Structure 1
Amino acid sequence: MVSGSHRRLAKLGAIAVSAAMLTACSTGTGSGKGGTDIRMLVNTTPVLTKQFYENLVAPYVAAHPGVKVTIEAPTGKGVTDSLQQDLAAGRPPAIIAGGQNTQFADQMAPLPDEPWVRNAPFSQSAKLKGKVWMVGTGVQIQSLVFYNKAAFQKAGITDPPRTVDQYTADLRKLKTAGYTPLQTGGEWTTGSQFLMLANPNVMNTAPDWYAQRNKNAVSFADSNYAKYLDVYQSWIKQGLVPKDADGTKYQDMITDFTTGKSATMVMGSWLVASVDSAKPSFGVGVFPVPTFDGSEPPQASNPAMTYSVLKASNQQTAAMGLVKYLVSDKAAITTSLKAEGNFRTGYSYDASLLTDEVGKILDAAHGKVVAIGPGLGDNSAPAGFEDEINTQIQSLYLGTKPAAVAAAMDKWWTSNAPK
């Protein structure tokens, strides 16, 4: 599927500040014999493996004699759990890459007011209490529906749906054609997929919805979240998603989709790399998540491959040097963008046709993006939001009513909102 197509993000500076963020957290290093060992805790994925990060930092290490970079994968459920364990043990890593929680922001070292920080995507709009504490490599969009073109043809679907009602009707046709209509799963994916679907329909009219909810100015019960909860449970009841979704791992979701078992899968742009690697026997397309009114949706988006440095580190200079390299060196940036099919103004790379289609969706949104996951800067959800929404969406599979989920989320948010 690889073509000679080149993608670059147009007008990144025009992107709205109401975007989502992957957070980061910490530093602390040990010294090896005659040098510095920078420990980096990374958020590993099927694409962003330990080996990927080791290869990514290798040129920096080669150019800095005496510097060693140790890549560490999470030992807990993810980066946040592992960081908590490391902090409790008094041995924090020097750099954290990826993650989804702002609760450690106060422990992060402020990044300098220098071009490499100011020019990083979303760095200014992600400020907390006036400081930049994380920087990313590129822009990642997440409100995407990947689809099996052969399945759509077999089901008699000629055009991708634009409205939620059209999508539901298409899912029914796909079920009749013998496919799992919408591939869902457990682990972290249940709540994340829901937000990928719902947030463009909530924040298209209220871009700062998280900030408003922190002030009790809006609620789940009286927003399009409640409407999407009804839709989502209707999919469960109609058998349009796997009954055993809660027990399905992320990698198994990808396998079910790329082997042709399921017809559509909602996921972020990083799925492109896995699809391209699998080389499915059928064509794969992508369209933006449908909206209730059929309008062009904004894209839920966030900085891709973020990095932070721990304030308490006695190796801040070494850690800052590596982070600067990762987000400002042309080769490092290009490698990072290409790995997950991400975008950044002024950068292009040989991309697959599917990456090109994702880029066209972002172009069609005219740079308008909205929050996903924990939020961005002052438009952020309370710590633990992703875990809570994940638990609540999974409860829909067990028969919990949508209204009860909305009420539970409002109660949780009120109890956990920043004071």
Structure 2
Amino acid sequence: MSSSSRHRLPAVLGAVTLSTALLAACSGGGSGGTHDKNIRMLVNITPVLTKSFYENLVAPYVAAHPGVKVTIEAPTGSGTADTLQQQLAAGDPPDIVSGGQNTALADQMAPLPDAQWVKDAPFSQASKLKGKVWMVGSGTQIQSLVFYNKAAFQKAGITDLPKTIDDFTADLRKLKGAGYTPLQTGGEWTTGAQFLMMANPNVMNAVPDWYAQRDKNAVTFAGSNYEKYLGVYQSWIKDGLVPKDANGVKYNDMIANFTAGKSATMVMGNWLVPSIDTAKPGFDVGVFPVPTFDGSTPPQAGNPSIPYSVLKSSSKQAEAIDLVKYLVSDKTAVTAELKAEGNFRTGYTYDASPLTEDVGKILEAAAGKVVVIGPGLGDNSAPNGFSDELNKQIQSLYLGESPASVVGAMDKWWTSNAPK
């Protein structure tokens, strides 16, 4: 797909379940007393959210606030949450953290004001804990997407996009016969993440607060659609429909394999679009929602994009909150954040690639319905460490573990780690 092909992205997501309408007016910024202040921001670094991206993002704010300096810090641990815990233990935390919604760290965050810009930030109300808004995002990120090589589908004789999981499995077999790695999976954090992207729409379409229900022992992994999906996943491993060495494949190599035409499909969030567009693969890329067991239109598993929180321990809380206000309500800043990853927010348009437009159509077709992903949101959150534990358990499937063993381990883990 040519990255030079750009269209105006329509204002979508008017019906997003967990989001509110955009505050159209830009943030004025400017809390008094910001002179000679260095605001430290610990941020998530990705192929598109680079350190220079964040530096350029905050540059207009710094220019408008003489005496203010913003220092962008990349994670030194496995991610922002891990790095933040290390910094807290060392007594040297940043003023702002971005890139995660780990509710176990919510008590370390300062309550955000009862202001309209906070209420209008996507997912802010859904993320509320004990009546406290502690995190705001710039947009909506959706994740239950299957990106596919249109030429590979044509070569394999696939004319209709799959709607059911059985149809998807049959198509993966056809793609294998056509000489492709049917479904690109990988190691690092991606194994469990991809599983949740595929499974959560099939679990939470019936029980949207599944995590909260699991805390009450009202549901379990055993006997749920999680176990059913694990059986499907195991069959893909046994049939060679995913790379046998997936546990050793890095995220950037997954992207490279897909854009090089080696892999026919790849499950990932909408942030993959800019990487695909930049790679300019020699084939057209399409996208469809993850299939469901019954063929119904799935909700999208999603979360706030580029979420921000202010540390309770910060000596510059007022200044940090003012910067966060700018980042989630200033039109120029928000548009830059949305465009970087191909994210969405009601009331915003930007020059978008055809692939981003196709992703927007998927969300429109789902009537904007979003279910939680990964650690969850607010009261519907998994215990701390859930994503890491699930990742380890999904990777064990490649080593011969059974779905029954995985769900047993996950139920045991959740019971031991659920809030008391």
Alignment of 1:43-82 (within 5 A): 43-82=44-83
What does residue 27 of structure 1 align with?
none
**1:7 alignment partner in structure 2:** 9
Is 1:200 equivalent to 2:201 in the alignment? yes
Give the aligned partner of residue 114 of structure 2: 113
CA distance in 2, matches of 1:187, 1:99: 17
Residue equivalent to 2:28: none
Q: Partner letter of residue 357 of structure 2? A: D
The whole-number CA distance in structure 2 between the counterparts of 1:270 and 1:212 is 30
Q: Which amino acid aligns with 2:160?
A: D
Residue identity matched to 1:80 = A
Partner of 1:172: 173
C-alpha distance in structure 2 between counterparts of 1:338 and 1:324, whole Å:
19
Structure-1 separation of matches of 2:77 and 2:13: 38
Structure 2 unaligned residues grouped into runs of 5+? 20-34
CA distance in 1, matches of 2:265, 2:6: 26
Task: Name the counterpart of 1:29.
Answer: none
In the TM superposition, what are the counterparts of 1:140-159 in structure 2 within 5 Å? 140-159=141-160
Structure 2 Cα separation of the partners of residues 39 and 301 of structure 1 = 27
Code of the residue aligned with 1:45 in structure 2: it is T
Equivalent position of 1:36 in the other structure: 37
2:341 partner letter? E
Q: How does 1:172-251 map to 2 (within 5 A)?
A: 172-251=173-252
Paired residue for 2:30? Answer: none
Q: Does residue 350 of structure 2 align to residue 349 of structure 1?
A: yes
Number of the residue aligned with 1:309: 310
Match of 1:376 in 2: 377
Residue number in structure 2 paired with 1:337: 338
Aligned to 1:407: 408
Deviation at 1:100, TM superposition (A): 4.3
The CA deviation string for residues 115-169 of structure 1, in whole angstroms up to 9 with x for no partner, is 1101001111110010100000000000000000010011011121100000000
Q: Does the 8 A contact of 1:100 with 1:373 survive in 2? A: no
Contact 1:9/1:359, CA 8 A, preserved across alignment = no
2 CA distance for matches of 1:62 and 1:117?
A: 24
Secondary structure at 2:406 match in 1: helix
Instruction: Compare 92-101 and 382-391 and name the one that shifted more.
Output: 92-101
Helix, strand or coil: the match of 2:401?
A: coil
1:322 aligns with 2:349: no
SS at match of 1:70: strand
Deviation readout 1:280-324 (Å, 9 max, x if unpaired): 000000000000000000000111010000112110011011100
| Mapped contact 1:7–1:343 kept (Cα < 8 A) | no
Amino acid at match of 2:229: Y
Match of 1:130 in 2: 131
- Name the amino acid aligned to 1:67: V
Alignment match, 1:285: 286
Contact in 2 for aligned 1:8/1:345 (Cα 8 Å): no
Conserved? CA contact 1:95–1:309, under 8 Å: yes
State the Cα distance separating 1:4 from its structure 2 match.
4.0
Q: Deviations over 1:86-129 (max 9, x none)?
A: 11111100100112421110110000011110100111111001
**Distance in 1 separating the partners of 2:270 and 2:163:** 19
- Paired with 1:174 and 1:380, the residues of 2 have a C-alpha distance of 37
Indicate conservation of the 8 Å contact 2:145/2:290, yes or no. yes
SS of the equivalent of 1:104 reads helix
Task: Give the Cα separation in 2 of the matches to 1:54 and 1:17.
Answer: 29
Q: Tell me, yes or no, if the aligned pair for 2:270 and 2:342 is still in contact at 8 Å.
A: yes
SS in 1 for 2:54: helix
Partners of 2:195 and 2:179 in 1: CA distance: 24
Residues in 2 aligned to 1:147 and 1:97: alpha-carbon distance in whole angstroms: 30
**What displacement does 1:6 show?**
2.1
Contact 1:183/1:263 (CA < 8 Å) preserved in 2?
Answer: yes
Number of the residue aligned with 2:257: 256
Q: Partners of 1:194 and 1:4 in 2: how far apart?
A: 31
State whether residues 13 and 363 of structure 2, in contact with CA within 8 Å, keep that contact through their aligned partners in structure 1.
Answer: no
Instruction: Report if the CA contact (8 A) 1:8-1:344 is conserved.
Output: no
Which shows bigger deviation, 385-394 or 91-100? 91-100
Deviations 1:352-381 (Å, cap 9, x if unpaired)?
A: 000000000000000111110011111111
- Specify the SS of the correspondent of 2:222: coil
Tell me the TM-score normalised to structure 2 length.
0.94
User: In 2, Cα distance between the equivalents of 1:78 and 1:106?
Assistant: 19
User: Would the aligned equivalents of 1:291 and 1:297 in 2 still touch at CA under 8 Å?
Assistant: yes
SS at match of 2:313: coil
Q: Distance in 2 between matches of 1:369 and 1:219?
A: 22
Task: Extract structure 1 runs of 4+ deviating beyond 4 A.
Answer: none
Please report how far the alpha carbon of residue 11 of structure 1 lies from its aligned counterpart in structure 2 after TM superposition. 4.6
Partner residue in 2 for 1:31: none
Q: C-alpha separation between the residues in 2 aligned to 1:100 and 1:305?
A: 10
Q: Is the 8 A contact 1:8 1:343 kept in 2?
A: no
CA RMSD in angstroms comes to: 1.1
Aligned partners of 1:243, 1:187: CA distance in 2, in Å?
15
Q: Secondary structure at the match of 1:3?
A: coil
How far the C-alpha of 1:41 sits from its partner, in A, is 0.4
* TM-score when normalising by structure 1: 0.95
Rounded to whole Å, the distance in 2 between the matches of 1:197 and 1:326 is 31
Deviations for 1:44-99, whole angstroms, at most 9, x for unmatched residues? 00010101000100111111111111101100111111101111111100100112
Identity percentage of aligned residues: 75
Alpha-carbon separation, structure 2, partners of 1:277 and 1:161: 27
- When residues 362 and 325 of structure 1 are mapped into structure 2, their CA distance, relative to the original with a 3 A threshold, is same
Q: Does 1:275 align with 2:273?
A: no
